[in-house]
Amino acid sequence: MIQPAADCSRIKEFINSRDLYAVHNGISVSEIGPGYATARMTMADHMRNGLGMLHGGALFGLADVAFAAASNSHGTMAVGISASMTFVKAATGGMITAEARETSLGPKIATYAITVTDEAGETLATFQGMVYRKKDRIELPPEIPAD
């Protein structure tokens, strides 16, 4: 039996256990609230490009998970339709954090600004994303396994 989402924290748990891309790439949602989320990853070898630096795809993936968490935090499904990213500083290692804040919330369209920072708080990248909001409620399984 499937239950409707009761609160943001279950969406966080759902992403952290069921989003196989996030799990495979070492990304997890750490905070979530209405229109807000943070996601984190610790820089690992499988995130590096051929020159040993953090890959643009890994940075985008982290920001995208924060974007998905924030945009689905209202309990109805949000589907990403566009995203743009600027790469401002090469990462040198450690914990990388993406913080997503809602910049507009309409009945069909919502937008988010995500900032990606390193442990020193330096901005590595900025990300702007737009979602199409469906009317469907997010259906979560009754029990979420601990991650």
Beta strand segments in 47-108, E: 76-87, 95-105
DSSP assignment of 93-127 equals: SSEEEEEEEEEEE-SSEEEEEEEEE-TT--EEEEE
Extract the tokens encoding 4: 């409707």
Residue list 30-89, contact with a copy of itself (CB under 8 A): 45-50, 55-58, 60-62, 64-65, 68, 79-89
Binding residues for a copy of itself, rule CB under 8 A, total 49
**Among the listed residues 4, 7, 21, 147, the single contact to a copy of itself using CB under 8 A:** 21
Q: Which helix (H) or strand (E) holds 15?
A: helix 8-18
Residue with smaller CB distance to a copy of itself, 22 or 70? 22
Chain positions contacting a copy of itself, by CB under 8 A: 14-15, 18-25, 45-50, 55-58, 60-62, 64-65, 68, 79-89, 103-104, 106, 109-111, 113, 115, 123, 126, 128, 130
